[in-house]
Structure 1
């Protein structure tokens, strides 16, 4: 099942990918992470659409070919974008799934717009608390994205394929859509460095623990355990989130990369479907 791409005007133009819009089951809205893109959800979306759900994956502001205003990268504005998108799509009580920063966006969405969604799904996100990991200056230095000056697209794709040898070709290619390919074959991120750092600062300033109790919807938390030290440290954050959220379930993905939706799309989609059923 192939996706259809279009732009939706929500005050700015957002690029979306859509599957099975005539489906009769409850719709899904899929939200990517920081400096990522809607295509990374393709594998998950096909599974959901095949069983009858309308599915839309959106490139948030600044990402992909969506509009890139100089402002509006705070949680209040990006959640308002999603709220207006749901209205334009004409959806009632959709299921929202967000990965990494996208999970934290949905946490803010649930607190800001209670009752709009039917379920929220946090995919290795929603519980990220950067302020607990050091000062802003330390975090800005640690998580500042690399420069991609004069990097050839084929070179980076080969590196990603080597580093993630068990990812599908489709998943690697979807990840490459985080970047614009220039006429000389080099790449640059669709999200500018300035915009990236604005989002990172908003994420640093967010305090998820203060928001959990405000979320009405059932929440599925899908954390990844790739065997790293960070995976072990985040178990405490996941436990705190699942305890503080009024209705939450946790489904760990062992031996899985942070990009669960790229690494194990079928398994993630099945977990999502089990949860809403």
Structure 2
């Protein structure tokens, strides 16, 4: 077997040999933006690390798997207010993803799984992989880490604690970072959300949404700097913990390994086409 789970660390001879065996390629993606005043801006770090752990476990379970270089810049949404943050327009990100898939498909590397760590990437991944499906009958699933972790959270810490600690700049990502990169958390900046109750004369209900009338909601073209200037929304990051993060990461890695197994078991080993 090659010496590393990272494609970037393989020599050309190792890569040529691995390609013949039709391994699974994980494509980690994330963002570089405000994750709360206490957390590193690069949530792509966590996506890449979890991808590495998935590759290690899947390979150990008999499904040869490698991690491509992470795409660190997420699809632009409402975090442009953050100094130093870098994002890609949706059209640029789509071009990047299309080109990544084109390069892999050229060499019949069709067993691809996206390990996604940013909501602003979801639409692009869906559209790009749907194009591959319609044209080549190849299924490339996307594993959106934080959405799945959010669903898992009540089972880890209970419904009440999950509700109090969940949101942007809170659980699940803050706990995951506390576990994976404890030295990158700044405890002195951990504090509860400090969000304006009203913007444009209406109650804030999200980064780009405001309440109006009796139960109504509107979407407005604002950025998080207008609605959630502290970067913390929905919960209290002080309730996050490395212990919670460790349990979430274990569950995500287990699910990711199952995704790899399913991809290999339900794709033709010669053509790469999906076996439905």
TM bin (shorter chain): 0.3 to 0.5
Structure number with larger C-alpha Rg: 2
Greater share of residues in strand: 1
TM-score where L is the length of structure 2 = 0.40
TM-score where L is the length of structure 1 = 0.40
